[in-house]
Structure 1
């Protein structure tokens, strides 16, 4: 009898425990996916004004790098690069009116790859060198009026954090090909230069060269240049001074003689008799050699005068003259002449 009583007590306790566990089951079950979802708050609509403020804040953040990256942002440009063109805010100023806030971008030209343009602390080679600029570099700023020293115009400049003076013969204003090829003043200059060369008019020819600058001639693009100042250009056709124009293609023999002996015959044959012109493009015939501007002339603008071989001539008997034009103080001037022909 006692045994039966304990058995019923045991069964009753077991049942009560099972009921208790079943009642508590929802509180101890494993969490479902719904229990770990985080509701996303509904975003309020953003007005155009708010968008503008956000864009401005983002732009300001880009303009103002954090102290951790300020040193990298302030590091100087890489070799051959410069600062961009400075522009003024949009105004209602009439087109063509000059302002002090618009700066012209200048590029270093006519400096060989293994050389540099020296910045000096005064207008002339007798002054100390305070900096240097690599060939082809852009972003040089002229900061004031120039000064003529020994037939060269020296100008005050700023480049990166260096200020000083450079010979302006090694700077040129940058202009796009489209603007250059559509510039009526450039066309007039090129036509005037052509007429002066055909007529052997040194005085007229010299008027096309900027004051304090120079005119360069090359018998071949790869031969050394011969440089003439404005006064020398005026007397080119009469001068009896002999120059070294480099070496002949193939034989390697030296080419020496006066302008009239070496250059004038090529002008008469290939420039005067040209039938095609190209703008910022070197028109030419077949050749085994390269046809390109001298490396130190890269970035300049030019016209080419191409004389194809005649019907009774060998097809490689062609000739081309390239006439370089540079802008200085907003005006185009004659800068260089380079001759091309078939090469071995």
Structure 2
């Protein structure tokens, strides 16, 4: 058997060490991976608490805040007027009472001049019973004669509320007086526009021989109360001497 000297063994060991070191230098360092499937990590969408304290998924619309639901629009005065005039046509006083101002009630005026001292006002509970009310009320004075208007509401209704089919009136105006006679009109003073709206239903005349002097109007006045329009006035108007 051939024997190797210590110097020979040292040379062989050094050569092996050099080979191992060269192999380590050629191998790339192994990098840690976050994903086990080799895909790039995805960005997580943060959660936000809901009204019950539970987490809910964040926005999916580019980071924009959720659009809040719009508040229901207040009904237009035309719509309220249409509902009220239809209730009057149908003699549905209960429906009219539901539209009335709960505290102020409805002031009822026989002519275009609103007399805040003499015109009668009825709260909702009374409005609902007016057509079956047998009490005789004094509603003001007849134009021309000055005699007191003393009638039960059912009779007053036929003469000074719905004496024409106002639900089918050919002319309708909002916050504008169409019928004009000799009597002063104080709508803007009693019902200032910053607080009130009104709808007028107008007939310019019925018989040509009167050349328009037989016109009639019905004005329904609503008070603006937040998002509500509450009925506070029924104003009948016609040609006066």
Q: Contact 1:274–1:308 (CA<8 Å) still a contact in 2? A: no
Q: Which residue of 1 aligns with 2:177?
A: 282
Residue 265 (1) aligns with residue 159 (2): yes
User: Cα–Cα, structure 1 residues 254 and 266, in superposed 2: closer, same or farther, change >3 Å?
Assistant: closer
Report the Cα distance in structure 1 between the residues aligned to 2:182 and 2:163, rounded to whole angstroms. 21
Q: Contact 1:225–1:245 (CA<8 Å) still a contact in 2? A: yes
Match among 102, 120, 137 for residue 211 of structure 1: 102
Report the Cα distance in structure 2 between the residues aligned to 1:283 and 1:189, rounded to whole angstroms. 19
Q: Which residue of 1 aligns with 2:236?
A: 339
- Structure number with bigger Rg: 2
Residue 324 (1) aligns with residue 215 (2): no
Report the Cα distance in structure 2 between the residues aligned to 1:220 and 1:294, rounded to whole angstroms. 15
Quote how far apart the aligned CAs of 1:308 are. 1.4
Match among 61, 78, 82 for residue 187 of structure 1: 78
User: Cα–Cα, structure 1 residues 227 and 312, in superposed 2: closer, same or farther, change >3 Å?
Assistant: same
Unpaired runs of 5+ residues, structure 2, are 1-66
Report the Cα distance in structure 1 between the residues aligned to 2:231 and 2:209, rounded to whole angstroms. 32
Q: Contact 2:169–2:201 (CA<8 Å) still a contact in 1? A: yes
Q: Which residue of 1 aligns with 2:202?
A: 306
RCO (CA 8 Å, sep 6+): is it higher in 1 or 2?
Answer: 2
C-alpha offsets along residues 92-120 of structure 1, whole Å, 9 cap, x if unaligned? x96867xxxxxxxxxxxxxxxxxxxxxxx
Quote how far apart the aligned CAs of 1:227 are. 0.4
Report the Cα distance in structure 1 between the residues aligned to 2:167 and 2:159, rounded to whole angstroms. 10
Quote how far apart the aligned CAs of 1:183 are. 6.2
Report the Cα distance in structure 2 between the residues aligned to 1:231 and 1:187, rounded to whole angstroms. 25
Unpaired runs of 5+ residues, structure 1, are 1-92, 98-181
Quote how far apart the aligned CAs of 1:328 are. 1.9
C-alpha offsets along residues 188-212 of structure 1, whole Å, 9 cap, x if unaligned? 2211111110010111111111333
Quote how far apart the aligned CAs of 1:312 are. 3.8
Q: TM-score, normalised on structure 2?
A: 0.62
C-alpha offsets along residues 205-247 of structure 1, whole Å, 9 cap, x if unaligned? 1111133331110112334321000101111211112211111
C-alpha offsets along residues 163-184 of structure 1, whole Å, 9 cap, x if unaligned? xxxxxxxxxxxxxxxxxxx964
Report the Cα distance in structure 2 between the residues aligned to 1:231 and 1:251, rounded to whole angstroms. 33
User: Cα–Cα, structure 1 residues 228 and 294, in superposed 2: closer, same or farther, change >3 Å?
Assistant: farther
Between Structure 1 and Structure 2, how many residues are aligned?
Answer: 168
User: Cα–Cα, structure 1 residues 321 and 282, in superposed 2: closer, same or farther, change >3 Å?
Assistant: same
Match among 253, 256, 261 for residue 147 of structure 2: 253
Report the Cα distance in structure 1 between the residues aligned to 2:202 and 2:74, rounded to whole angstroms. 21
Report the Cα distance in structure 1 between the residues aligned to 2:95 and 2:141, rounded to whole angstroms. 30
Alignment of 1:1-344 (within 5 A): 184-222=75-113, 223=115, 224-270=118-164, 271-272=166-167, 274-285=169-180, 287-293=181-187, 295-299=189-193, 300-314=196-210, 315-344=212-241
Q: Contact 1:216–1:336 (CA<8 Å) still a contact in 2? A: yes
**Cα RMSD between the aligned structures?**
2.6
Report the Cα distance in structure 2 between the residues aligned to 1:331 and 1:243, rounded to whole angstroms. 30
Which secondary structure does the structure 2 equivalent of 1:338 belong to? strand
Which secondary structure does the structure 2 equivalent of 1:269 belong to? coil
